[in-house]
Amino acid sequence: MKIRAGNSSFFVLWACLLLAGRAPAQFTAAEVAERHQWEEFLKTAEIVEWEEVGEGVTKPLRLTLRKDGLEARGLWKNPSGKKSGFLEGWQYEIAAYEIDKLLDLGMIPPTVEREFQGKRGSLQFWVTVKHSLLKVMEERIPIPESAAEALDRMKYVIRAFDSLIANDDRTQQNLLYTEDWRTIAIDHSRSFRSTRQHFKRLMNGRNGIKSGDDGRSFLFRRLPRAMVEALRGLDRAKLEQAVGPYLTKTEIDAVLARRQLLLDEIALMIEEQGEGHVLY
């Protein structure tokens, strides 16, 4: 994270938060305990500057915020309805973050609702990263051997997460890497689809919506045991409490349907390969 502050100890903690934890891109218990303070800053800090980012069809703005001598930046978005033929919603950014919290994944920067210039929108902490996946691919940037296994595991975590929230817009541009190769996932305004198809099929997996015509599937292969346990415990009450203000009943129903599809596919993988080959 790029921070400019007089007394930046709180934000230094959050910079470290993205670079430490029990697993790649996962916060420690102590850092999670501080998360509500960061969310409060995003909601209440004074907006002192703003500028167009100049990227994306949603026309996001980069806001500079200041409170009690601390200064940081956030990405504000307020798309709603059809944009370039796709359904967009700023509220989906917040819902994705809240579900990331429910599953204890810690790969989405803190995101809250914030009004700006009389309009409601999402405000997400601006994270300064080293690379995007697109940059890594285009410039053939070598991945250190020490980071290869962690990135491979996170690839499957993100495929499973995108399947749960029906993210229709995962690209190489919105997967980011910190300097020490931790994965940060952004841009979830095209998530939470609730058509009949999105009740019956996952984005990824054996019968994934994004499976190629050549039969290629984007499988999960291996997943953290803690993530799967959190999925098993994810029920309507937890979802409504976390995302009730941002998702409709139908969208929540769709999440629960996909949760079961995801658990069913994981169970089949365990049956075929053994739990030790699927969960870690």
pLDDT of 33 reads 74
Q: Are 184 and 25 within 8 A, CB to CB?
A: yes
Give dist(CA 239, CA 201) in Å, integer: 20
Q: Cβ neighbours of residue 174 under 8 Å, at least 6 residues apart?
A: 132, 185, 186, 187
How far is CA 15 from its chain centroid?
17
Express each pLDDT in 152-172 by its tens digit.
Answer: 999 999 999 999 999 999 999
Sign of CA dihedral 37, 39, 41, 43: negative
pLDDT of 56 reads 58
Q: Are 187 and 169 within 8 A, CB to CB?
A: yes
pLDDT of 179 reads 85
Local structure of 176: helix, strand or coil = strand
Average pLDDT over residues 143-156: 94
pLDDT confidence tier of residue 17, bands split at 50, 70 and 90 = very low
Which amino acid appears at position 42 of this protein? L
Q: How many CB atoms lie within 10 A of CB 208?
A: 20
Q: Cβ neighbours of residue 5 under 8 Å, at least 6 residues apart?
A: 11, 69, 70, 71, 72
Mean pLDDT (the chain) is: 87
pLDDT confidence tier of residue 70, bands split at 50, 70 and 90 = very high
Q: Are 164 and 258 within 8 A, CB to CB?
A: yes
Q: Is the pLDDT of residue 30 over 70?
A: no
The secondary element (H helix, E strand) that includes residue 274 is none
Sequential DSSP letters for 45-114: SEEEEEEE---STT--EEEEEEETTEEEEEEEE--EEEETTEEEEHHHHHHHHHHHHHTT---S--EEEE
Q: Is the pLDDT of residue 51 over 60?
A: yes
Give dist(CA 229, CA 187) in Å, integer: 26
Express each pLDDT in 221-258 by its tens digit.
Answer: 999 999 999 999 999 999 999 999 999 999 999 999 99
Task: Output the pTM of the full model.
Answer: 0.88
Nearest CA among 228, 239, 226 for reference residue 270: 228
Q: Are 10 and 33 within 8 A, CB to CB?
A: no
Q: CA torsion angle for 163, 89, 135, 143 (degrees, to 10)?
A: -40
The secondary element (H helix, E strand) that includes residue 201 is none
Which amino acid appears at position 54 of this protein? G
